[in-house]
Structure 1
Amino acid sequence: MSRVSKEQALELYLNSDLLVLGRMADNIRRERHAGGVVTFVVDRNINYTNVCVNHCNFCAFFKDEKSPDGYVIDDETLSKKIEETLKLGGTQILLQGGLNPTLDVWYYVDLLRGIKARYDISVH
Protein backbone atom coordinates (compact mmCIF):
# COMPACT_ATOMS: atom_id res chain seq x y z
CA MET A 1 0.00 0.00 0.00
CA SER A 2 1.43 3.39 -0.96
CA ARG A 3 1.02 6.75 0.68
CA VAL A 4 -1.73 9.10 -0.40
CA SER A 5 -0.49 11.84 -2.73
CA LYS A 6 -1.13 15.51 -2.00
CA GLU A 7 -3.68 15.59 -4.81
CA GLN A 8 -5.48 12.50 -3.48
CA ALA A 9 -5.48 13.92 0.05
CA LEU A 10 -6.99 17.19 -1.17
CA GLU A 11 -9.65 15.29 -3.13
CA LEU A 12 -10.54 13.21 -0.05
CA TYR A 13 -10.60 16.30 2.17
CA LEU A 14 -12.85 18.28 -0.15
CA ASN A 15 -15.22 15.55 -1.33
CA SER A 16 -15.42 12.70 1.19
CA ASP A 17 -17.74 12.05 4.07
CA LEU A 18 -15.94 12.05 7.43
CA LEU A 19 -17.37 8.68 8.46
CA VAL A 20 -16.30 7.13 5.14
CA LEU A 21 -12.78 8.49 5.68
CA GLY A 22 -12.77 7.03 9.18
CA ARG A 23 -13.79 3.60 7.88
CA MET A 24 -11.12 3.77 5.17
CA ALA A 25 -8.47 4.65 7.74
CA ASP A 26 -9.62 1.85 10.04
CA ASN A 27 -9.47 -0.68 7.18
CA ILE A 28 -5.91 0.37 6.38
CA ARG A 29 -4.99 0.13 10.06
CA ARG A 30 -6.40 -3.41 10.21
CA GLU A 31 -4.38 -4.42 7.12
CA ARG A 32 -1.15 -2.99 8.47
CA HIS A 33 -1.54 -3.96 12.11
CA ALA A 34 -3.22 -7.34 12.35
CA GLY A 35 -4.35 -8.50 15.75
CA GLY A 36 -6.75 -5.69 16.49
CA VAL A 37 -4.56 -3.93 19.05
CA VAL A 38 -5.21 -0.21 19.21
CA THR A 39 -3.72 2.04 21.87
CA PHE A 40 -4.19 5.64 22.88
CA VAL A 41 -3.02 8.05 25.52
CA VAL A 42 -5.09 10.62 27.37
CA ASP A 43 -2.92 13.72 27.17
CA ARG A 44 -3.30 17.43 27.85
CA ASN A 45 -1.49 20.48 26.54
CA ILE A 46 -0.79 23.02 29.25
CA ASN A 47 0.37 26.45 28.15
CA TYR A 48 2.65 27.78 30.88
CA THR A 49 3.11 31.22 29.25
CA ASN A 50 1.81 33.09 26.25
CA VAL A 51 4.52 35.76 26.43
CA CYS A 52 6.87 35.40 23.48
CA VAL A 53 9.54 37.54 21.84
CA ASN A 54 9.62 35.55 18.61
CA HIS A 55 6.44 36.91 16.95
CA CYS A 56 6.11 34.03 14.47
CA ASN A 57 3.80 34.87 11.57
CA PHE A 58 1.71 31.72 12.06
CA CYS A 59 1.09 32.20 15.79
CA ALA A 60 -2.10 33.86 17.00
CA PHE A 61 -1.34 32.91 20.59
CA PHE A 62 1.61 35.08 21.68
CA LYS A 63 1.50 38.29 23.67
CA ASP A 64 4.21 40.88 24.10
CA GLU A 65 6.05 41.02 27.41
CA LYS A 66 4.22 44.20 28.45
CA SER A 67 0.77 43.08 27.29
CA PRO A 68 -1.91 43.03 30.01
CA ASP A 69 -3.07 39.70 28.54
CA GLY A 70 0.35 38.07 28.92
CA TYR A 71 0.69 35.45 31.63
CA VAL A 72 2.88 32.87 33.29
CA ILE A 73 0.80 30.08 34.79
CA ASP A 74 0.56 30.11 38.59
CA ASP A 75 0.95 26.98 40.73
CA GLU A 76 -2.75 26.79 41.59
CA THR A 77 -3.86 26.86 37.94
CA LEU A 78 -1.18 24.38 36.91
CA SER A 79 -2.18 22.00 39.72
CA LYS A 80 -5.86 22.27 38.80
CA LYS A 81 -5.12 21.41 35.15
CA ILE A 82 -2.96 18.42 36.11
CA GLU A 83 -5.53 17.14 38.61
CA GLU A 84 -8.31 17.46 35.99
CA THR A 85 -6.16 15.45 33.58
CA LEU A 86 -5.55 12.71 36.14
CA LYS A 87 -9.27 12.52 37.00
CA LEU A 88 -10.00 11.90 33.31
CA GLY A 89 -7.49 9.04 33.21
CA GLY A 90 -4.72 11.17 31.76
CA THR A 91 -1.19 9.82 31.91
CA GLN A 92 0.82 12.65 30.41
CA ILE A 93 0.93 16.38 29.83
CA LEU A 94 2.63 18.50 27.22
CA LEU A 95 4.06 21.75 28.53
CA GLN A 96 3.96 24.37 25.83
CA GLY A 97 4.64 28.07 25.80
CA GLY A 98 6.23 31.08 24.26
CA LEU A 99 9.82 32.26 24.39
CA ASN A 100 9.42 34.34 27.52
CA PRO A 101 12.61 36.31 28.29
CA THR A 102 11.73 36.60 31.99
CA LEU A 103 11.87 32.82 32.49
CA ASP A 104 15.36 31.47 33.07
CA VAL A 105 16.46 27.84 33.08
CA TRP A 106 15.69 27.56 36.80
CA TYR A 107 12.03 28.34 36.15
CA TYR A 108 11.85 25.22 33.99
CA VAL A 109 13.88 23.11 36.41
CA ASP A 110 11.61 24.11 39.29
CA LEU A 111 8.49 23.63 37.17
CA LEU A 112 9.42 20.08 36.19
CA ARG A 113 10.71 19.11 39.62
CA GLY A 114 7.53 20.39 41.24
CA ILE A 115 5.31 18.45 38.87
CA LYS A 116 7.30 15.22 39.26
CA ALA A 117 7.36 15.55 43.06
CA ARG A 118 3.58 15.96 43.33
CA TYR A 119 2.11 13.95 40.46
CA ASP A 120 2.50 10.54 38.87
CA ILE A 121 2.29 11.85 35.32
CA SER A 122 4.61 11.88 32.32
CA VAL A 123 5.74 15.24 31.00
CA HIS A 124 6.77 15.92 27.43
Structure 2
Amino acid sequence: MPAITFPANATGIVVNDSGQIYAQIPDQQAPQLLGQLSVANFANDSGLDPLGNNLYRETTASGQPVVSVAGDIGFGNIHQGYLEGSNVDPVKEITELISAQRAYEMNSKVIQAADEMASTVSKGIR
Protein backbone atom coordinates (compact mmCIF):
# COMPACT_ATOMS: atom_id res chain seq x y z
CA MET A 1 0.00 0.00 0.00
CA PRO A 2 1.39 3.41 -0.89
CA ALA A 3 1.75 5.96 1.89
CA ILE A 4 -0.74 8.81 1.98
CA THR A 5 1.07 12.16 2.00
CA PHE A 6 -0.71 15.29 3.17
CA PRO A 7 0.25 18.55 1.48
CA ALA A 8 1.75 21.13 3.85
CA ASN A 9 -0.67 23.80 2.62
CA ALA A 10 -3.82 21.70 3.17
CA THR A 11 -6.47 23.63 5.06
CA GLY A 12 -8.78 20.68 5.74
CA ILE A 13 -8.92 16.91 5.53
CA VAL A 14 -12.05 14.84 4.82
CA VAL A 15 -12.42 11.06 5.00
CA ASN A 16 -15.60 9.81 3.34
CA ASP A 17 -17.59 6.66 4.23
CA SER A 18 -15.65 4.52 1.75
CA GLY A 19 -12.27 5.61 3.19
CA GLN A 20 -11.19 8.02 0.46
CA ILE A 21 -9.07 10.85 1.89
CA TYR A 22 -9.42 14.34 0.43
CA ALA A 23 -7.50 17.53 1.22
CA GLN A 24 -8.78 21.03 0.70
CA ILE A 25 -5.98 23.04 -0.92
CA PRO A 26 -6.07 26.86 -1.08
CA ASP A 27 -6.90 28.26 -4.53
CA GLN A 28 -8.49 24.94 -5.63
CA GLN A 29 -12.25 24.62 -5.89
CA ALA A 30 -12.53 20.84 -5.59
CA PRO A 31 -10.82 18.86 -2.82
CA GLN A 32 -7.78 16.84 -3.93
CA LEU A 33 -7.96 13.03 -3.58
CA LEU A 34 -4.91 11.91 -1.56
CA GLY A 35 -5.54 8.19 -1.25
CA GLN A 36 -7.74 5.33 -0.11
CA LEU A 37 -7.77 3.63 3.30
CA SER A 38 -7.87 -0.17 3.24
CA VAL A 39 -9.75 -2.36 5.69
CA ALA A 40 -8.78 -5.94 6.60
CA ASN A 41 -10.84 -8.80 8.05
CA PHE A 42 -9.40 -11.94 9.63
CA ALA A 43 -10.93 -15.39 10.04
CA ASN A 44 -10.05 -15.30 13.77
CA ASP A 45 -9.79 -11.78 15.22
CA SER A 46 -8.84 -13.27 18.60
CA GLY A 47 -5.71 -14.74 17.03
CA LEU A 48 -4.24 -11.31 16.24
CA ASP A 49 -1.13 -10.33 18.22
CA PRO A 50 -1.82 -7.03 20.08
CA LEU A 51 1.13 -4.64 19.79
CA GLY A 52 -0.42 -1.79 21.80
CA ASN A 53 -1.82 1.61 20.73
CA ASN A 54 -4.58 -0.14 18.73
CA LEU A 55 -2.03 -1.94 16.54
CA TYR A 56 -2.27 -5.68 15.83
CA ARG A 57 -0.10 -8.15 13.95
CA GLU A 58 -1.22 -11.09 11.84
CA THR A 59 -0.40 -14.54 13.24
CA THR A 60 -0.96 -18.08 12.05
CA ALA A 61 -3.88 -18.26 14.51
CA SER A 62 -5.56 -15.19 12.98
CA GLY A 63 -5.29 -16.43 9.42
CA GLN A 64 -4.50 -14.39 6.33
CA PRO A 65 -6.06 -10.91 6.00
CA VAL A 66 -8.85 -10.30 3.53
CA VAL A 67 -8.23 -6.71 2.38
CA SER A 68 -10.86 -4.47 0.81
CA VAL A 69 -12.23 -0.96 1.14
CA ALA A 70 -14.86 0.38 3.51
CA GLY A 71 -18.36 0.04 2.17
CA ASP A 72 -17.81 -3.37 0.60
CA ILE A 73 -20.08 -6.12 1.96
CA GLY A 74 -18.78 -7.33 5.32
CA PHE A 75 -16.31 -4.46 5.81
CA GLY A 76 -18.46 -1.69 7.29
CA ASN A 77 -18.03 2.04 6.75
CA ILE A 78 -15.64 4.69 8.03
CA HIS A 79 -17.07 7.74 9.81
CA GLN A 80 -14.82 10.75 10.32
CA GLY A 81 -15.14 12.51 13.66
CA TYR A 82 -17.14 9.76 15.37
CA LEU A 83 -16.24 8.16 18.68
CA GLU A 84 -16.61 4.40 18.94
CA GLY A 85 -19.02 3.36 21.62
CA SER A 86 -17.84 1.24 24.51
CA ASN A 87 -19.00 -2.36 24.73
CA VAL A 88 -19.12 -2.12 28.54
CA ASP A 89 -22.45 -1.81 30.33
CA PRO A 90 -21.66 0.39 33.36
CA VAL A 91 -24.82 -0.62 35.29
CA LYS A 92 -24.02 -4.33 34.90
CA GLU A 93 -20.38 -3.78 35.89
CA ILE A 94 -21.32 -1.80 39.04
CA THR A 95 -23.84 -4.51 39.98
CA GLU A 96 -21.18 -7.21 39.58
CA LEU A 97 -18.71 -5.10 41.59
CA ILE A 98 -21.20 -4.76 44.45
CA SER A 99 -21.87 -8.52 44.38
CA ALA A 100 -18.14 -9.25 44.48
CA GLN A 101 -17.69 -6.84 47.39
CA ARG A 102 -20.51 -8.50 49.35
CA ALA A 103 -19.05 -11.95 48.69
CA TYR A 104 -15.65 -10.71 49.91
CA GLU A 105 -17.22 -9.30 53.09
CA MET A 106 -19.07 -12.59 53.76
CA ASN A 107 -15.88 -14.62 53.24
CA SER A 108 -14.03 -12.28 55.56
CA LYS A 109 -16.67 -12.78 58.28
CA VAL A 110 -16.54 -16.57 57.85
CA ILE A 111 -12.75 -16.52 58.28
CA GLN A 112 -13.08 -14.24 61.31
CA ALA A 113 -15.70 -16.56 62.90
CA ALA A 114 -13.51 -19.63 62.22
CA ASP A 115 -10.55 -17.85 63.82
CA GLU A 116 -12.63 -17.00 66.90
CA MET A 117 -13.86 -20.61 67.15
CA ALA A 118 -10.30 -21.93 66.90
CA SER A 119 -9.23 -19.47 69.58
CA THR A 120 -12.08 -20.59 71.88
CA VAL A 121 -11.25 -24.27 71.32
CA SER A 122 -7.56 -23.73 72.02
CA LYS A 123 -8.39 -21.85 75.25
CA GLY A 124 -10.67 -24.73 76.36
CA ILE A 125 -7.91 -27.30 75.77
CA ARG A 126 -5.47 -25.53 78.09
Q: With structure 2 as the length reference, what TM-score do the two structures score?
A: 0.20
Looking at secondary structure, tell me which structure has more helix per residue.
1
Q: Which is greater in Rg?
A: 2
Looking at secondary structure, tell me which structure has more strand per residue.
2
